[in-house]
Structure 1
Amino acid sequence: MAAAREILQKLQKEITCSICKSYFSQPVTIMCGHSFCQACLSLSWSVGAPVFSCPECRQVSQVTEYPVVSEHLAQLTDQCKQLIFQHFTEGQSHCATHNQVYKLFCEDDQTLLCVRCCRSPEHGAHKFAPVDEAAHNCRKKFQNIQSHLRKNLEEAEKVLAREEKSVVDWHWMITEEYRNMHRFLMEDETRCLQKINEEQRVSQERITQHMEIIQDFIAILQEAGHQHNLELLQQIKQLLGRSESVLSQKIKAVIPELREEPIPGIMEMLHRFRVDISMDATSTSPYLIVSKDCKSVKAGEAWQEQVKHFEVSTCHYVFADQAFSSGRQYWEVDVEEIPQWILGIYVPYMRNKRSRDMDSCAAMFVLQCLKKDEDYFFQSHPGSLNHRIKGPVPRVGVYLEHTPGTLIFYNVLQRSLIYKFHPISFTAPITPIFAPGPPLAERKAGAMTLCPLNHPLHACCSSSL
């Protein structure tokens, strides 16, 4: 009998809320495994609190929403309550230990006692009351609690009514702000594209007009060739003079200048994908020197003596210590100290579109900066970029997105696009690569440095190399 009572007491503890000390009502279980009444937990977790902690073990929960009611635990609680009730009602009028009638109620332990139980040491200093009096007092307490609960309910209804009247429509306001942002960006995009189209139109018109002048003059010369000798010779001075003028106006192939069109908000968006990467010192060649913290690399003197031309195929690289197989990554590289460099990614295996059996091959996708005399040039490999830039770019941002296969380079200072590879058929982990380039003659080798995650770009970074 005592063993059964002990088991039921343990069972009773398992289905009792540690907040209200009563059986579970609409029980919920949180991440740490502890369970509570839904109402008790909602009162314990303040609305708007930054973190939620367990009222029992104080473990902080990562969930910011109230858990749903556990139907299984609710059913188990009902079944256990019936079992406990049946056990205690079978001998509810008699003490199971002493087999005497319950006559007293211990107000400290909230339990029924017989006369002999009152004399035991564990109840020695406790307060007792007759069963009838204790039950009467309990009913009065229940009435008092109900009165307070009704008042709390009325106050909650009033607060809810005020909340509904004064509620701010955050959904509408935030949606409108994003719509405004989209509209502003579309307006900027339209202006930028119109400017590019206008410049292209003017350039094409200039070439077309030059071609028309040449074609018209060719027709004039053909007509003059069929004239009589005297008539031809009378115009020869004028025709030859005009020929000189037309021939001097040659259209030269001009290397286009890289556009620096700022894209509003682009850097703030990219910084959401910043990753902290390091260089793999074991992957470098004798011509490169990697720093002890593996955050920078520079060209050694041997490379300057060996290489006359800075070519992608003959360049020496250092690999990143990290490789990426999915998701989005963004990193920035400080190239302020070096006039020539290469940045990009190495893909050990790629789909070969020309091969039916889908053979794979290694590939690099890089952006190269060259310096010739006083000019700087950007070239992409592979790709069609071959543009002159106004001056050195102090910091370059690299954005990688595995799906759908995108690699983009940014001028961080100008917040503008440099070049975009898309789409690239990635099939294996992608590794960032770095090459500081051979130092220019009579110039000390500088370092190419990975920028820390919290490293801001100052105006001084725009100083010329």
Structure 2
Amino acid sequence: MAVTGEVVKELQNEITCSICRSYFCEPVTIRCGHNFCQACLSSSWRVEALAFSCPECRRVFHHREIPIVNRRLAELTELGKELSSRLMQSTEGQSQCVTHEKPFKLFCEEDQKALCVTCCETPEHGAHKIFPVREAAYKYKRELQRIRSLLGNYLEEDEQLLAQEEKPAVDWSSLFSNEYYKIYNLRWRAKNLDLPERIRQEQEANQDRLSQHMQTLQDLMLELQALAQQPNVDLLQDAKHLLRRTEAVLSQRAKAVTPELREYPIPGLIEILNRFRVELTMDPTSADSWVSVSGDLKSAKAEEEWQVETKPPEDFPLSYVFAEQAFSSGSQYWEVDVTQLPQWVLGIYTAYLKSRRRRGKKVSCTSLFLLQCVKKEEDYYLQTYPGPLNHRMKSPLPRVGVYLNYCHGTLGFYNVLQRSLIYKFYSIPFTAPVKPIFSPGPPLPGTKPGPMTLCPVDSHLCACCYSSQ
């Protein structure tokens, strides 16, 4: 039987590892029947894990037993690689120009078309960039390999994100349930019982969205691998179109893998928090060189010369200013107007924290607890430091409320307009006074920075007020 391209392609699918998307290297077969590279499976099954699942069908195994190499599958892999190479060599140069009946030896970059020598002499391609087929194919093969490696890295990240979605680091149901319980000081009422179900449904929707994105990446990787095995002329006809499709998918990656921050309004929330409202002023002596404080000490503004770093430091916002007030007891609540800022940082700083021990080991504690807003293209992303929050919003927040309970060691951030919780830190081991911290940036390139303003104690924000601004 003649070995056709379809037969070789089917064989390639059978001898390709679903983890690294390359030909098997020392393949092993696990109990569910699926095959992987021995090194890929070992990397996927981390030693410290309590259970181990098949990367393909997700069947769970409770013991980490890496099988011995499947020698027959290894031999089949070598045979498949040889057949693929022979097929490429046998088809290389067979395609020819129908018009001039000469083999395709050149490639037009502008028209994405294979040409014979006579075709190049026509006025149609006279001013175009022409390359030898082998040179052009080598260029695209390198680009295809680069994209495949990039997709492989993204798939690993997505698998970790999906695992987090299946067992989320933020227990939103408990988070909001606790808020309701504290506000009303009674058990859930019937009208509020649908909230955990809504959160569960949205978490499942996030998992489905992420799974679909992963499937798209996997399909693209298979297409890239199959295309890389094609004869040079066939590869050149399809490579640019496939690379454009891949770029389009990757350009939407941030939205695909980052869940949208949901709003769960809590009736009476802001009214109760206002009972703990405190008047704050900013300390101009603590201001960074890229931050200026107003004369009334109520607002901070980023200087236009503020240079945006490519990567923010791990311990502090880029530029900041402290409040003059410090708190070492009780409960305090303040609001900050960030209407004119696409990017900002809010939070608290404390000099000392109690040392913690977990499983007999001392755990270091951060002295900063922050909520950060970052704008990327048309979306806004809310992130916590430390903490797992990384969610996107379609529109910016006009005003953020911050609630500190020193005795209980909690710090909450609130969407004042929607009367909903953004995120809450629990069990912070305070031992020293706490100071609010503000960072009105970094500013976006080409924009005029606006102020970050402390809201007066008697000011209130509602939807009608905000819409009229």
Give the TM-score, by structure 1 length.
Answer: 0.49
Rg larger in structure: 1
Give the TM-score, by structure 2 length.
Answer: 0.48
